[in-house]
Amino acid sequence: MKQSIIHQVTSRGVIQVVSEDRIRRLEICTQLSNLGYTVVPLAEMLFSAARQHTEAEICLLLDAKAIAEYAFKADAVPEEHLIPVLFYPPFSQEQAREHRHSGGTGPLAAMVPFAELKSEDSLENIGRLLDSAIKYARLSRRCSGLVQELNSRSTRKLIGYSQAIQTLRDRVADATHLQTPVVVQGVAGTELPLVAELIHDAMFLEKRPFIKVNCSSLTIENVERELLGYFTDEKSSYTDEPKWNPGRLELAEGGTLVLDQMHLASLPVQAAILKIVERGEYLCPEDSQMKKLNCRLISLSHAPLSELVAQNQFKRKLASILGETTISVPRLNDRKEDLALLTEFLLSEVARAEGTVPKLLTLDGLETLKRHDWTGDVQELRNLIQHVSRVDNGVRLDAASLQPWIGSESIANPDSMVGMTFREMEQKLIESTFARCGGNREQTAQMLDIGLRTLSGKLRSYGYPPRGGPDSKRNFTVRRAA
């Protein structure tokens, strides 16, 4: 351990020297040691299954046999496990032809050679080449580590172990390395914005802008205003000129622009977007200059664009440009084996937000979740967890706590609450909690944090019988507020 630390401090780098000629190998090792390098002499090229930090940083091949062995074996080793290689002497064209005629399958392009040392080179020039190769190797290793860390950190939000979610992870990783526009599609309730964030985070190591625009709210009157920018009558703090408000394209420059709810964009709005993406540039109203479209486009859609094109609801050319790469997010119904992990993650998320202890998911609670048809997908599950956590003070998430709420329209579709009066929403909450407590008024009042008399008065106004009266002990069910 101490010896390796000393090498890291005093050595210019660690070099493998490969040759079957022992005298030649000893001669080169002596020269490199005198230059300050740590040398690992080898009679033949060694490949490890995984890149280890204790390996040499670069490799120096001294004869044709070592070069040929490397060429044969390089294809079987992942590229990230290869280290920069220097040839001394260089691999001649005659040797390359002999290698091909002998049946070698490893292309020379896969050999990752860094440089070729010549016999007439001075020791100073050789040292410079070796230093450059070692610096490149260290930077490459560091970059690979950062990319792996970023990918693992980004995909950590995709909760689950099913084949469907693993396929999604692979598709996100593939899309990261492409510069083409991406369409992320899935049914309502699937976490399409999350997938867009993962692509953005994995693509940019440093902080870049991540801008969203809701295409469903764009009209032909405001589409250019929102995308390209506009002047307002408000005066600038430093000049008397109108204030410039940059558009989403300018704000997203160098980063990612997310076209949310793309399936709801009107045909005139689609035509305006097509004009920009087809040309790859746009006229900026601020200075009347043409600017390049310099951002990654990610479109989110709850319907396949190809189906919309077939129904004459989407422009074919725009669909082909935006959908060059398409990622489909699987439904929760198709990966119910992920429900346990996903529910525990959401319970921890809710508990962290409210400063409480996460509930414990029981086996009967999990079976209740698996039997349910998740029409609202992950968003419905999240709404369910939030509702149960707010009205149930118990420590467990079991079938009894889930049953009154699961399948509720207001949870599966939160928009169903839109347009209800405050009194109707209050009645819905009280009735749902009363049913959850099986008609127990004391427990209902405790959950809702209201007085028992206040609760009884509310129930009487909703048509429930008075306490102790006829039908007061009947089984209560959730009723729709009037």
pLDDT digit string, tens, across residues 77-117: 666 667 777 777 644 555 545 544 444 444 343 344 456 67
Q: Is the model more confident about 113 or about 142?
A: 142
Whether residues 14 and 37 fall in one domain: yes
CA distances from 346 to 349, 385, 452 (A): 5, 7, 32
- State whether 167 and 99 are in the same domain: no
pLDDT at 89: 62
Whether residue 247 sits in one domain with residue 188: yes
Burial of 449 (0-12, 13-18, 19+ CB in 10 A): exposed
Residue tagged 């598709």 (tokens): 171
Residues 277 and 344 in one domain: no
State yes or no: pLDDT of 298 exceeds 90. yes
CATH number at residue 226: 3.40.50.300
Check whether residue 71 and residue 29 sit in a common domain: yes
Looking up residue 15, the CATH number of its domain turns out to be: 3.40.50.2300
- Co-location of 299 and 426 in the same domain: no
- DSSP letter for 270, please: H
Residue 472 lies in a domain: no
SS3 readout for 79-100: HHHCCCEEECCCCCHHHHHHHH
Residue 470 within any structural domain of the chain: no
- Look at the chain and report how many structural domains it folds into: 3
DSSP states of 379-432: HHHHHHHHHHHHH---SEE-HHHHTTTTT-HHHH-GGGGTT--HHHHHHHHHHH
Q: 458 pLDDT band (50/70/90 cuts)?
A: confident
* Beta strands 296-301 and 256-260, pairing class: parallel
What is the pLDDT confidence band of residue 156, given thresholds at 50, 70 and 90?
Answer: low
Domain residue limits at 433 = 333-461
What pTM, to 2 d.p., does this model score? 0.59
CATH code of the domain in which 363 resides = 1.10.8.60
Of 296, 311, 280, 309, give the one whose Cα is nearest residue 183.
296
Q: Identify the weakest region by mean pLDDT among 182-196, 216-230, 391-405, 456-470.
A: 456-470
Residues 259 and 392 in one domain: no
Residue 477: inside a domain, yes or no? no
Does residue 474 sit within a domain? no
**Would you say residue 478 lies in a domain?**
no
Residue 479 in domain: no
The top-scoring range by mean pLDDT among 271-280, 287-296, 471-480 is 271-280
Domain final position from 297, 330, 363: 330
208 and 108 in a common domain = no
Q: Decide if 443 is inside a domain.
A: yes
In the predicted structure, residue 410 carries a pLDDT above the cut 70: no
**Are both 105 and 33 inside the same structural domain?**
yes
The tens digit of pLDDT for each residue in 193-243 reads 999 998 888 877 568 899 999 998 888 888 888 998 888 776 656 666 777
Residues forming beta bridges with residue 253, ordered by sequence position = none
Task: Decide which of 330, 363, 386 is a domain's last residue.
Answer: 330
Any domain includes 275: yes
165, 292: one domain: yes
Residues 205 and 265 in one domain: yes
Both 90 and 35 in one domain: the answer is yes
Per-residue confidence band for 463, with pLDDT thresholds at 50, 70 and 90: confident
Q: Where does a domain end: 147, 172, 204?
A: 147
